[in-house]
Amino acid sequence: MTAIKHALQRDIFTPNDERLLSIVNVCKAGKKKKNCFLCATVTTERPVQVKVVKVKKSDKGDFYKRQQTWELRDLTEVDAKDASKENPEFDLHFEKVYRWLASSTAEKNSFISCIWKLNQRYLRKKVEFVNVSAQLLEESVPSDESQSVAGVDEDALDDYQELNTREEQDIESMMEMCEYAISNAEGFAEQLSKELQVLDGANIQSIMASEKQVNILMQLLDESLSEVDTIEGKLSSYEEMLQSVKEQMDQISQSNRLIQISNTNNGKLLNEIQFLVNYMDLSKGHIRALQDGDLTSPKGIEACINASEALLQCMNVALRPGHEKLMAVKQQQLLFADLRDTFARRLTNHLNNVFVHQGHDQSSTLSQHTTELTLPKHSPLHRDLLRYSKLMEWLKNTHREKYEGLSRTYVDYMSRLYEREIKDFFEVAKIKMAGTTKEAKGKFATLPRKESALKQDTESLHGSSGKLTGSTSSLNKLTVQGSNSRRSQSSSLLDMGNMSASDLDVADRTKFDKIFEQVLSELEPLCLAEQDFISKFFKLQQHPTVTPPLAQPETEESDGGVVSRVPAQAEHRHSFSSEKDMVRLMMNKIFQSIETELNSLIALGDKIDSFNSLYMLVKMSHHVWTAENVDPASYLSTTLGNVLVTVKRNFDKCISGQIRQMEEVKISKKSKVGILPFVTGFEEFAELAETIFRNAERRGDLDKAYVKLIRAVFMNVEKVASESQKTPRDVVMMENFHHIFSTLSRLKISCLDAERREAKHKYTDHLQSYVINSLGQPLEKLNHFFEGVEARVAQGVREEEVSYQLAFNKQELRKVIKEYPGKEVKKGLDNLYKKVDKHLCEEESLLQVVWHSMQDEFIRQYKHFEDLIGRCYPGSGITMEFTIQDMLEYFSSIAQSH
């Protein structure tokens, strides 16, 4: 191995200025043995570069060549596989992992040891060694800088020291003085050795010659030491003097420090005292106001408000750590608590007395409103109590129990007061609705029969407006689009003709409209004013969440809707999600009778006249819409919304009752039918409803009712027409659907456009059917004859051969034609006109329309007969006994004569 190492150094590394430090014979692990050498080298030039070189022996000769080179700084890890057992395998981690198998474990250990030394010296321990025994690394540590590496005689790892310029000049001068310095190096070295010995001897002699000077120097040193001892003595005395001064200065410094601490503590104490005096001292005037202040006069109330606010500030002051342990602070806190309780008790008692006294004064004025449809105003009570609103806020923040108790007292007392007032108010309203005489009974449930009366009724709609929300409707500007052809007398949709126009009292309907509007207009500002007062007086609009004053809210149920209530768990939680819930709960308690009384009033109005539900639906819808615009979650909006459900239910019952009465209608068997009562009733209902609901918010409800009513009218018209014995079915259908079509065309109800077209179609079809059936009678035999001719042609007989049929020959035709001379035809048409006049009613004025249609149909039949004679009897010269001009004269003269 030594020979190979020298050969590699000579042939490969020396030409590249490199020195070979270690070598190991290896092959790749797991493959056929292709031996190569891994060499650890360093460059001879600075800076030193450390490399690992893979060398392989050439296959064609006995020389070596480089195969691959790695920089040692690229090596990241050396894995010896096993630190405890001998294993020739090891891995080198460069850009990838190289796995090697050494020829012996000793060579592997020697190579890894060399790599470790190079890592320690040049790479600052950058490479990581894995599975390498610690003993191997310890043995690899050099004992001195001259230790050799891997058996090398010279330590290749020592630092190379380059000669400086002066050393080079000295060597050159020495070599110039010796002529054989280059030719005979050994002689030059021997000469230098001799000169060195001479210099050493001279040095020794010089040292021996200087003994006298040394003795003198020693004597001087002794004298110096004595002087030093003297100086040290003086310094010791000085130090003792300074020590006494230092102790005095320390005492002065300590005194100054204590004085400074005392001043600092005094300043802090003064700040604390000033803080407590400034924030926890209540003036005597405030104390007197809290204990004995006048709660009746404005000046006394203002003083109590200022005192309560000052007390609240003192109680809520943020004490610093340790303040609560001070006896003075504890005494002040006890004083504040006592003043708070005393003033809270005085304030609660006073406000309770105010509630009672103000309530008695308010009750004494109830008698003034017993005959008028107005509610007592509570603005004086609210104005007096609002002076205490800031004190209520103080009570709310300091004494929650008394605040809640006071709130309950107010709610309980005001609920009884409002219950009496509202009950009396609605009693007056009911009396005014029902009237004071018995004659008013039985005059309801009818529609106005005269146009002027209908206009008067319309003008009364929404005549009074709410004082708080302004005009409640624009319906008071509407007018009725009347028809000149409207009948002066007819039955309503409810009584189906059982009452005459003289029995109707339009004033009753007008009176109900005004009373109902007055009721709503009085209730609306009352509820809004009370809700506004509760919010301001009880301070329920400052924070998002508060504890309610009512510990046990009552759940209420009402017909026609669900009023939002607090869940049952709230009785134990005593809290609500928002202040609006609390205000609504107090309003529900105070005005718990409003919804019941409104429902009772609505039931009375519906009992008096079911058509009153139209007025109530429009008015109630408008007031609900107005309340929701002010506050969708307010008590007024919720209550009116529930009542609106009841009104809507009554409206639906009214429509259902009308439909039921349509189905139960009976007609006379001895007289002609004419326009059915419920058809005329629907016309009048639609006119009134259009007037009431024009521009109303609940137009959709009316449109749905229209559809239900018109379908019921159509169905029952057909039913009556089928059951009619006196009047032909086509006449009943024609007249009634013509009346329906005229009504819908005049009123222009958009949701009934399809029904209007259907009514026109039915009217046209039945008019045509009636005309055709009636015209068969004046020329009956002629019609039968030509029907037989058309039947033969239809059976396959040629038209020119029909005249050869025995029953339809020319003689038979002439015989039939002679039976209908012009005089007979005119007579038959005259009888037909009388019969048609007998069938038709006068109200619709359809006689001329029907007669003109019969004329057109008669002319069509005449032309048809002439055409059949020309086709089936050609060249016969047979014609009718009268001409078209004769027919026109017949129809005209008959119409004029009647």
Range with lowest mean pLDDT among 456-460, 723-727, 809-813? 456-460
Report the C-alpha gap between 627 and 869 in whole angstroms. Answer: 81
- Contact status, residue 112 vs residue 136, Cβ threshold 8 Å: yes
Q: In terms of pLDDT, which residue wins out, 469 or 165?
A: 165
Q: Can you read off the two tokens belonging to residue 752?
A: 């009934």
How do residues 139-153 score in pLDDT, each as one tens digit? 655 444 334 333 433
Q: Averaged over 250-257, what is the pLDDT? A: 90
pLDDT at 553 over 80: no
| CB neighbourhood size of 773 (10 A) | 11
Report the C-alpha gap between 681 and 798 in whole angstroms. Answer: 58
pLDDT band at 370, cuts 50/70/90?
low
Q: In terms of pLDDT, which residue wins out, 319 or 235?
A: 235
| 474, HSE (Cβ side, Cα atoms, 13 Å) | 4
Going from the C-alpha of 516 to that of each of 233, 604, 613, 702, 748, the distances in angstroms are 125, 11, 11, 20, 30
Q: Can you read off the two tokens belonging to residue 482?
A: 């009347």
Report the C-alpha gap between 378 and 414 in whole angstroms. Answer: 11
Alpha carbon 254 to chain centroid, angstroms: 72
Q: Averaged over 675-701, what is the pLDDT? A: 81
SS3 state of residue 90 = strand
Q: Averaged over 730-759, what is the pLDDT? A: 87
pLDDT of the residue at 210: 80
pLDDT at 12 over 60: yes
Q: In terms of pLDDT, which residue wins out, 281 or 359?
A: 281
Beta bridge partners of 833: none
SS3 state of residue 489 = coil
Going from the C-alpha of 655 to that of each of 15, 324, 447, the distances in angstroms are 123, 77, 14
pLDDT of the residue at 447: 35
Amino acid of residue 480: V
Q: Is 647 left (phi over 0), alpha (psi -120 to 50) or beta?
A: alpha
pLDDT band at 450, cuts 50/70/90?
very low
pLDDT of the residue at 227: 92
pLDDT band at 855, cuts 50/70/90?
confident
Report the C-alpha gap between 820 and 881 in whole angstroms. Answer: 7
pLDDT of the residue at 365: 54
Share of the chain above pLDDT 90, in %: 7
pLDDT of the residue at 150: 38
pLDDT band at 23, cuts 50/70/90?
very high
Q: What is the largest CA-CA distance in the chain?
A: 200
Q: Can you read off the two tokens belonging to residue 344?
A: 């809270």
Q: Averaged over 280-293, what is the pLDDT? A: 88
Question: What is 825-859 written as a DSSP string?
Answer: HHHHHHHHHHHHHHHS-TTTT-HHHHHHHHHHHHH
Q: Name, of 146-150, 670-674, 857-861, the range with top average pLDDT.
A: 857-861
Task: Sort 346 into a burial class: Cβ within 10 Å, 0-12 / 13-18 / 19+.
Answer: middle
Determine phi and psi for 680, rounding to 5 degrees: -65, -40
Share of the chain above pLDDT 70, in %: 81
Q: What is the pTM of this model?
A: 0.52
pLDDT band at 363, cuts 50/70/90?
low
Sheet with 89-93: strands ordered across: 64-71, 50-57, 36-43, 18-28, 97-102, 89-93, 77-79, 128-130
Q: What is the DSSP letter of 254?
A: H
Beta bridge partners of 50: 42
Q: Averaged over 450-465, what is the pLDDT? A: 34
Range with lowest mean pLDDT among 83-97, 531-545, 669-683, 848-862? 531-545
Q: 842: Cβ–Cβ under 8 A, 6 or more apart, which residues?
A: none
SS3 state of residue 155 = coil
Going from the C-alpha of 759 to that of each of 294, 447, 687, 786, 850, the distances in angstroms are 81, 24, 18, 35, 17
pLDDT of the residue at 230: 92
Report the C-alpha gap between 116 and 22 in whole angstroms. Answer: 12
Q: What helix, strand, coil percent values describe the chain, rounded to 5?
A: 65, 5, 30
Q: Can you read off the two tokens belonging to residue 834?
A: 């009388």
pLDDT band at 777, cuts 50/70/90?
low
Report the C-alpha gap between 366 and 369 in whole angstroms. Answer: 5
pLDDT band at 476, cuts 50/70/90?
very low
Determine phi and psi for 25, rounding to 5 degrees: -85, 120
pLDDT of the residue at 261: 92
Task: Sort 873 into a burial class: Cβ within 10 Å, 0-12 / 13-18 / 19+.
Answer: buried
Range with lowest mean pLDDT among 70-79, 325-334, 575-584, 758-767? 575-584
How do residues 179-206 score in pLDDT, each as one tens digit? 777 778 788 888 888 888 888 888 888 7
Helices (H), 776-821: 780-794, 810-818
Report the C-alpha gap between 277 and 274 in whole angstroms. Answer: 5
- Contact status, residue 449 vs residue 482, Cβ threshold 8 Å: no
How confident is the prediction for the chain on average, in pLDDT? 77
pLDDT band at 567, cuts 50/70/90?
very low
- Contact status, residue 149 vs residue 22, Cβ threshold 8 Å: yes
pLDDT at 738 over 50: yes
pLDDT at 54 over 60: yes
pLDDT at 506 over 90: no
- Contact status, residue 339 vs residue 282, Cβ threshold 8 Å: yes
Q: 554: Cβ–Cβ under 8 A, 6 or more apart, which residues?
A: 588, 589, 592
pLDDT at 162 over 80: no
Range with lowest mean pLDDT among 377-381, 521-525, 569-573, 846-850? 569-573
Torsion angle defined by CA atoms of residues 467, 470, 473 and 477, in that order, rounded to the nearest 10 degrees: 100
Beta bridge partners of 91: 79, 99
Q: In terms of pLDDT, which residue wins out, 461 or 173?
A: 173
Q: Can you read off the two tokens belonging to residue 865?
A: 């007969």
Q: In terms of pLDDT, which residue wins out, 648 or 546?
A: 648
pLDDT at 674 over 90: no
How do residues 816-831 score in pLDDT, each as one tens digit? 888 878 777 777 777 7
> Which candidate, 461, 447, 430, places its Cα nearest to that of 615?
461
- Contact status, residue 155 vs residue 145, Cβ threshold 8 Å: yes
Place of tokens 């103080």: 394
Determine phi and psi for 66, rounding to 5 degrees: -70, 140
- Contact status, residue 354 vs residue 385, Cβ threshold 8 Å: yes
Amino acid of residue 698: R
pLDDT band at 891, cuts 50/70/90?
confident
Going from the C-alpha of 611 to that of each of 648, 688, 699, the distances in angstroms are 12, 10, 16
Q: What is the DSSP letter of 664?
A: T
Dihedral (CA of 787, 788, 789, 795) sign = positive
pLDDT at 269 over 80: yes
pLDDT band at 252, cuts 50/70/90?
very high
> Which candidate, 22, 24, 43, places its Cα nearest to that of 35?
24
Range with lowest mean pLDDT among 5-9, 444-448, 538-542, 812-816? 444-448
How do residues 690-733 score in pLDDT, each as one tens digit? 878 877 777 888 888 888 898 988 898 888 878 777 778 888 88
SS3 state of residue 419 = helix
- Measured between its terminal Cα atoms, the distance across the chain in Å is 156
pLDDT band at 136, cuts 50/70/90?
confident
Report the C-alpha gap between 34 and 128 in whole angstroms. Answer: 28
pLDDT band at 892, cuts 50/70/90?
confident
